[in-house]
Amino acid sequence: MTSDQLHRLLLDNLNTAVLLIDRALLIDYINPAAEALLQAGSVRLRGTPVSNLFVDDATARQTLRECLEFGNAHTLRQEYLSGLVADSSQVDYTITPLSIDSGEWILMEMQPVDRILKINREEALLSVHDTSRSLIRGLAHEIKNPLGGIRGAAQLLAREITDRGLGGETAELCQIITTETDRLRNLVDRLLGPSQLPTYEELNIHEVVEHVAALIDVEVQGELTLVRDYDPSIPNLLGDRAQLIQALLNVARNAMQAMLEGDRSERTLTFKTRIQRSFTIGGEHHRVICRVDIIDTGPGILDDIKERIFFPMISGRSEGTGLGLTIAQSAVNVHHGIIECESEPGNTCFSIYLPLKV
């Protein structure tokens, strides 16, 4: 392998977005991480002015010229990318002058600010989620033991009532004890999560999403509009079909109920799938992931619970149990993925990220 091939291989496998810019301030090279960040391919970007990548293109041009003229590296913070190449996200970028074969070049390295903040938030969320799940499991087991005793005593009492020929209100009260004990035990079982280990198999994510969409379609009976926006190029992934269906169904039902209970005239539920490259989940970097977005036009999530919606017993609905999203997050975590949420009135998006092995 030649030195040029080795350098190209190293650049192509970096997680940092890297661009090489010539003296005319045109893009000469862009690595795959930069393509993913800018949401544009090298064929489209090569030979174009690098300043076009930024909203403040005048500042970018001036800084690049000063870098060439004075030979000093510069770092700019929280610069917005142009909507022509990305979703107007913020980046920090560093430019460094280089001399290659008697020519003058600039090496540009980009780091997405919003993604770094999200990674920090995700790591904190996963840590808190693991801690709360451990506490809940311990508490749930402590609750189930006396519940078993209460139910057993209620059954013995019911038998005694029958043997003595007592009925009416006495038998009814005993039945209430049994029914409410069973309800509490079912709630504890839901808190504990799935009792079986996941069974992984190769599956098509669209088969899972379409199954959930069909279930929601039957439930709403035409009261809202369902939109399907699928990327057919997404390869199969390894997952537990039942757990993924449960996760997506919990999220979709929350969205459905929020719209049906709200007062907004537009009621649209969108299922969207996309490939996303160079993504970090819980400190682990993934070259390719599958993203499933469930988007609704409901009233949005209240600000005071927005950061806690994946915690147990937190719900924005008066009749909600606060367990649906917790169970969904646990099921996705088992697949080494994560669920994120962005919400404002009229546009709430739950994004489910699942790593792909390619």
Between 321 and 282, where is the model more confident?
Answer: 282
What band does 60 get if pLDDT is binned at 50, 70 and 90? very high
Can you tell me whether residue 277 is helix, strand or coil? strand
Q: What one-character-per-residue DSSP string does 153-175 give?
A: HHHHHHHHHHHTT--HHHHHHHH
> What's the pLDDT score for residue 15?
77
Q: Looking at 102-116, 177-191, 315-329, 333-347, which range is the least confident one?
A: 315-329
Q: Quick one: pLDDT band at residue 262, thresholds 50, 70, 90?
A: confident
Position 287 pLDDT exceeds 70: yes
Q: What is the pLDDT of residue 294?
A: 96
More confident residue, 260 or 125: 260
Q: Which two tokens stand for residue 128?
A: 């808190």
Name the residue with higher pLDDT: 322 or 6. 6
How would residue 324 be classed by pLDDT, with cut points 50, 70 and 90? confident
3-class state of residue 72 by DSSP = coil
Between 15-19, 67-71, 185-189, the lowest mean confidence (pLDDT) is in: 185-189
The mean predicted confidence, pLDDT, of the chain is: 83
Q: Considering the chain, what percentage of its residues have pLDDT values greater than 70? A: 82
Give the range with max mean pLDDT: 159-173, 182-196, 268-282: 268-282
Res. 68: pLDDT tops 70: yes
How many Å from the N-terminal Cα to the C-terminal Cα in the chain?
A: 24
pLDDT of residue 268: 94
- pLDDT tens-digit map of 76-118: 888 888 866 655 578 889 999 998 777 899 999 988 876 666 6
pLDDT at 180: 83
DSSP sequence for 89-138:
-EEEEEEEEEEETTEEEEEEEEEEHHHHHHHHHHHHHHHHHHHHHHHHHH
> How far apart, in Å, are the Cα atoms of 350 and each of 127, 342, 343?
20, 7, 8
DSSP assignments along 215-239, one per residue: HHHHHHTTSSEEEEE--TTPPPEEE
Q: What is the pLDDT of residue 89?
A: 78
| Predicted local distance difference test score (pLDDT) of residue 16 | 84
